[in-house]
Amino acid sequence: MNVFVIGIGHIGGSMAIDIKAAFNEAKVYGIDKNEEHLDKSLSLGVIDEKSTYSSLSEADVVIIAIPVDVTVAELPKVLDEVNEHCLVFDVSSTKEQLCKVVSKHKNRRNYLATHPIAGTEFSGPEAAIANLFRDKTNIICEVEKTAFKLQEKAMNIFNRLGMRIRYMDPESHDKHIAYVSHLSHISSFMLGKTVIEKEKNERDIFDMAGSGFASTVRLAKSSPAMWAPIFEQNKENVIESLEEYIANLTQFKELMEHNDFSKIFQEMKETNYIKSILKGIA
């Protein structure tokens, strides 16, 4: 099985590692505009060979793991090159624009729109790790538009990697993910910004930061090159989620100003219900 991974970073590299472990016959080819990423991936054994678009006609599977704005531009080009038996899927955090851009493509049936809910704040091929996707949810959109044989091929890969599957339309995916993922990253980035601006002494931040701050601001270490395009692609849903979040922050501030700490206690107590929703998530 010839697997071509476009974008050998944290997600693409981790996918390559797991596929090589799950399929003995898999040979992984890496495509990346960053030559250093390709060299590092080769030295780490993440990929077997470097490659280019000119060889995509030989692919059985193509995985696109690059920033979503670039994926929107590159996905049609990839579909132009593949053979009729090749599965193409992406791992982008937004789906609506991607599905629209290839809706009329002659090879639309080769494409499966997927979003594995997995990853860390680290980037680059050095951040690629085994078993990143095990027990993680993989959201699939517009499955009915993918050829059935290629759906089967995809499910075989996802099952061997240990992923749970959920189906959703692209619009609903982007709306929900704005709240449960994109808003979290914005909150983390802005908390980090606030602390950096307020606490000018870096040593004070290091010495006084507890585990709560570290875990809350962890996502602020994520790659801006990946996240800025995500916010742009999902602009309307992200703005809607921000408006609701800001309204809650404003209400909390007003309760503080009015010394209504009994209400603050009640708000926090009711929000503790999130523990039961997220039970079992590390």
Based on the domain organization, do 158 and 180 belong to the same domain?
A: no
Q: What is the pLDDT along the chain (282 residues), one digit of tens a residue?
A: 999 999 999 999 999 999 999 999 999 999 999 999 999 999 999 999 999 999 999 999 999 999 999 999 999 999 999 999 999 999 999 999 999 999 999 999 999 999 999 988 888 999 999 999 999 999 999 999 999 999 999 999 999 999 999 999 999 999 999 998 999 999 999 988 988 887 666 666 666 666 677 788 888 888 899 999 999 999 999 999 999 999 999 999 999 999 999 999 999 999 998 888 777 665
In a domain? residue 157: yes
Based on the domain organization, do 24 and 41 belong to the same domain?
A: yes
Based on the domain organization, do 141 and 33 belong to the same domain?
A: yes
**Structural domain count of the chain:** 2
Based on the domain organization, do 138 and 25 belong to the same domain?
A: yes
In a domain? residue 282: no
Which CATH number characterizes residue 130's domain? 3.40.50.720
* Whole-number Å distance between alpha carbons of 51 and 138: 27
In a domain? residue 195: yes
pTM of the predicted model, to two decimals?
Answer: 0.86
Based on the domain organization, do 182 and 83 belong to the same domain?
A: no
Supply 38's token pair.
């390709």
Question: Which domain-ending residue is among 102, 135, 168?
Answer: 168
Which CATH number characterizes residue 211's domain? 1.10.3660.10
Based on the domain organization, do 177 and 163 belong to the same domain?
A: no
Note the pLDDT tens digit of each residue in 187-217: 999 988 988 887 666 666 666 666 677 788 8
Note the pLDDT tens digit of each residue in 141-182: 999 999 999 999 999 999 999 999 999 999 999 999 999 899
Range of the domain at 245: 172-277
Based on the domain organization, do 48 and 78 belong to the same domain?
A: yes
Based on the domain organization, do 10 and 136 belong to the same domain?
A: yes
Question: Which domain-ending residue is among 102, 133, 168?
Answer: 168
Question: Which domain-ending residue is among 168, 200, 232?
Answer: 168
The per-residue pLDDT for 201 is 65
